Chains A and B, each alone.
Chain A
Amino acid sequence: MQLKRISKHFGEGEARVDALREVSLEVFPRQVVALLGPSGSGKTTLLNVIGCILDPSAGSMELDGDLVLRDGEWQRSNLRRLRLDKIGFIFQFHNLLPFLDATDNVAIVQQLAGADAATARKRASALLDDLEVGHRKHAMPAKLSGGEAQRVAIARALANSPRIILADEPTAALDSKRAGIVMDLLRKLAVEHDATIVAVTHDEKIFDRFDRLFHLRDGRLVDG
């Protein structure tokens, strides 16, 4: 994943706010990296640009060898499909759909990509087994513990074998022991799935689990 001079501003004139200023970075497959910085530094904005859900003002971006953004213009007309095929998301509060059981929460991503229900459920079941929550595959999200829900959310992020996994505060809702377990799991999955993991975090106790730390301040990359 390669970002070149990504900028993003909101508003114009005196109301203009520069959320990102010419951010460039490169991350390789199997790397687990963190975006760090104080509140308002541009971490989430950058995560949204990488996740193709926010239009940057300028810059270029290559994902999995595919130039998806050039000079601030998206090169793909269907960004939804791009997200579905190449990007997985892990959320701070898991964001599991409350009306689907664990298996269907994972299977839905594959079904949205075109897989038939049986195939999707079979792979979802295998992923849940791999993540050691197979015994909870029929449980509704409300019945899952925080750790179980996070594993189901990780399984969902992996369902379409994405090349990039974006994680928004993946350990914020977990205690330090579980946070360590989740980070080890993400590292393992990055290697197994040949994927890049980019996480936004404030959680200092897991900084040592990342391959690289990118520090942002006032929209600029100041260290990384």
Chain B
Amino acid sequence: MTDIVIKNTIQIEDADGNVVDEVINRTFRCVMEGTIFQAWLQVTDDPKKPEVLFLNQPWKFDEAGSRVDWGDLAEAIAWFKNRQNHEEG
């Protein structure tokens, strides 16, 4: 199990009408459940549901578009970060 933080920057309009950057950080608990990669979103505004199964990914895809097994959790996390457009730093 590994907790990761996905960072994304979006542009919003502030109270003065200026477009400004806003950084959004989301925390995920990442696990391999058997051969399935799972990313659980940590929810802060709902104490009844502290985490939500955000992604349930049994496979990755090869270059031909065929489904193949994950190598390990680290590979799956790297893929997940890429798919979520995670910004390092």
Q: Do A and B bind each other?
A: no
A interface with B by C-beta (< 8 Å)? none
